[in-house]
Amino acid sequence: MNRPIRRIGAVFAILLLAMIANVTFIQVFKAADYRDRPGNQRQLLAQYDRERGPIVVSTDAAARSIETGDTLRYQRVYSNGELYAPITGFYSLVYGATGLERTENKILNGSSDLLFVDRTKQLFAGRQIQGGSVVTTINPDAQVAAYEGLGTKVGAVVAIEPSTGKILASAQSPSFDPNILSTHKPAEIRTYYESLTADPDKPLLNRPIVALNPPGSTFKLVTTAAALASGRFTPDSLLPGPKTYQLPNSTKRINNWNRTACGPGGMVTLRQALAISCNTAFAWLGNELGADALRTQAQLMGFDSRFELPLRAARSTFPEDPDAPQTSLSAIGQYEVRATALQMAMVGAAIGNKGVLMNPFMVQEIRGPDLSVLQTTQPSVFKQAMTAANAATEAELMVNVVNNGTGSNARISGVDVAGKTGTAQTGNDRPSVAWFVSFAPAQNPKVAVAVCIEQAGTSEISGNGLAAPIAKKVMQAILKQS
């Protein structure tokens, strides 16, 4: 064999080894990844031949499969599709899956290891493989109250059971109809999907857990918790609350919403400052505490962390290194502080649950096709966000907000409601954002609620006027109080 032939042979040998290595890598290490990608049409077509399990709210199926009699044997249908869309997502032939349809796909299509025994039984019995059931934590009454309360407003509502972290409601407006995205008519699916993606109000955005907005004065709950934790302040501590506040090291000033001083001689107690949402007092307090103390308290309440419900929530943030004027603005929920409705519901839940913040979750149980329980989510602690004594003190301050301050529209007869209003400036052409964070009953809360209204279609924007009535309806639905 001469030298050129040996070289050509060596090149082909290298190419052959490279091809074998690549094929081995794909088949052994990447096969499952490629197979499970949402856009894998071959996998989707195979799965349409199986009866996909239901997504259950209380005892009813919010999503289930029906036989079609055509080439694709099963089709996904949704009861009250727009109501539960932020939870179920959709299961589309064209666009794959979102929501629990995506995160719980292996359970729903029957391929999860949890369903191995069921698959084996079905195989030996000669039956078609069925998927398992995903039972959510959603309370249908609370979900309806939240969705109907939002109406035509652009916004989101999240309700949590403080003692466990169960998500009781996760509603948004606008929403979308997953039934249209789950038909077997690709042209109809594409037309509807394109109309949704072109909508400036972004109905496909999972607003309750993904949309980030400045929390405005509801962040004063975090600042108050930091003040109590410092040991330097009590509810009766006097704070400066002048008509306007000169930001340190800056020529800029901030005002109170009513452009008056917050108390006699421009002095106000911490209790009264929270009740009337005094900007100048909390801006001053923010600089007294410092950015590190505010950030530490915010992180104890879930900021700067990621949560999976199993739907992935956006990370709410506190600024990394604010200077003195930026710290003042951060203390009142402005500058670069950003939060989801989920995050602010968690702030309320932590205060209501004696300072213990539970990890939020949305799936209660996984069940087999025979409805046997295969897995139950156990509540788990995220952080001890504040001492029980400070939590009780702050809860009392929040009751005062509702009974004697800016949160009057959340009052429920015979029930102590704890709450905090917020109206956040967005700093651009968008209107201000209206917030309300609450829990009830204040001494032993069954529910914590956060309402965020991004656009209400009105010039009168306030947390008490727009968001508190919705929170009240959700709390009433859980407490079954009129």
**Catalytic amino acids?**
217
The number of CA neighbours under 13 Å toward the Cβ of 106 is 11
Q: Which amino acid appears at position 186 of this protein?
A: P
The number of CA neighbours under 13 Å toward the Cβ of 458 is 11
Q: Look at residue 350 and give its three-state secondary structure.
A: helix
List all residues 6 or more positions away from 301 whose beta carbon is below 8 Å from its beta carbon: 222, 225, 343, 346, 347, 350, 357, 383, 385
Alpha helices (H) along 372-452: 388-404
Q: Which amino acid appears at position 232 of this protein?
A: R
Cis link prior to 264 (omega < 30° from 0)?
no
**Closest C-alpha among 213, 170, 177 to residue 192:** 177
User: How far apart are the C-alpha atoms of 202 and 17, rounded to whole Å?
Assistant: 49
User: How far apart are the C-alpha atoms of 449 and 447, rounded to whole Å?
Assistant: 7
List all residues 6 or more positions away from 361 whose beta carbon is below 8 Å from its beta carbon: 137, 165, 166, 167, 309, 310, 377, 379
Q: Look at residue 175 and give its three-state secondary structure.
A: coil
Residues in a beta bridge with 381: 358
Q: Which amino acid appears at position 183 of this protein?
A: T
Relative orientation angle of helices 291-300 and 220-230, to the nearest 10 degrees? 110
**Closest C-alpha among 271, 108, 90, 311 to residue 192:** 90
Torsion of CA 306, 56, 87, 85, to 10 degrees: 170
The two tokens of residue 85 are 């869309």
